[in-house]
Amino acid sequence: METIKDKEFGGERPLFASHDLRLENVIIRAGESAIKECSNIEAVNCLFEGNYPFWHVHGFKIENCRFAVGGRSALWYSDHLKMTDTVIDAPKMFREMTDLELENVVMNDADEVFWKCARINVRNLTLRGGTYPFMLSSDIRVDGLDSESKYVFQYVKNAELRNLKITTKDAFWEVENVTIYDSELNGEYLGWHSRNLRLVNCHITGEQPLCYAHDLVLENCTFGEDCDRAFEYSSVHADIRGSITNIKNPMSGRIVADSIGSVTIDGNIKAPADCIIELRDGTRLQ
């Protein structure tokens, strides 16, 4: 493998079609497509300031690097990436990629990141700002995510997510086959129109959570006081620890909680309209 150390490159495609290349303490200045159509690339302690540096790259490692604001849309149409201990200040990262492994990565502008990606494995990821991370992605494994981005995990399929702390709005809409463990989910309108969404040991805040959901499962979950009108038009099996403020018009299944502030069943409830709602002591409310 060829090694390039302590160099600077700029302009158009300075390392185009490189293979078996290691970059150490390299700076990619303003320009475009510095490392395009490459394979087997390693970048260590590098700074990326130009646009689109890693497009159509097959097999690469990025360690202890930084992508400055000018390095936007840096990683597209590529596969088999391992990224560790890296800070990203630019938006629109990771587009239509496969086989991604990230650990200890901070993204300070998480706008439109991880779109249409598959086979993503993440440990200790921070997302700040931006909208729609992970849109239309699939086969995702996450252990450790701290996110302030809006509309996370929309239209996602086949995901196992652990140790999340998410503050958002409209998260997990239209997801399919997603399980979330040991997480804190803060925001309005969680999990609407989902299919096979399962929450285990999670704490949920925000109004109108988990409506229009199909085959929704909650195990040992807790709710904040602001969670009203929960489960409207959902088929659900829920084991709620502690209290939930209000349940409205669930379609089917069973909901059990230690305490329920109120239940709203009105003429708009959808068939089969046979959801069992009861307290843990066996008191039937619906």
pLDDT tens, position by position, 133-154 = 999 999 999 999 999 999 999 9
Q: How far is CA 38 from CA 55, 78, 150, 236, 274, in A?
A: 8, 10, 33, 48, 58
Predicted structure pTM score? 0.94
Residue 169 has pLDDT above 90, yes or no: no
pLDDT tens, position by position, 258-267 = 999 999 999 8
pLDDT at 14: 92
Gap between the terminal Cα atoms of the chain: 69
Residue 286 has pLDDT above 80, yes or no: no
Rounded to an integer, what distance in angstroms lies between the CA atom of residue 134 and that of residue 152?
6
Residue 38: both structure tokens together = 């490459």
The answer to whether the beta carbons of residues 41 and 62 sit under 8 Å apart is: no
The residue-averaged pLDDT of 86-92 equals: 96
pLDDT at 163: 98
The residue-averaged pLDDT of 221-231 equals: 95
Q: Please spell the DSSP secondary structure of 205-238, one letter per residue.
A: ESSS-S-S-BSEEEEEEEE-TT--SBTTT-EEEE
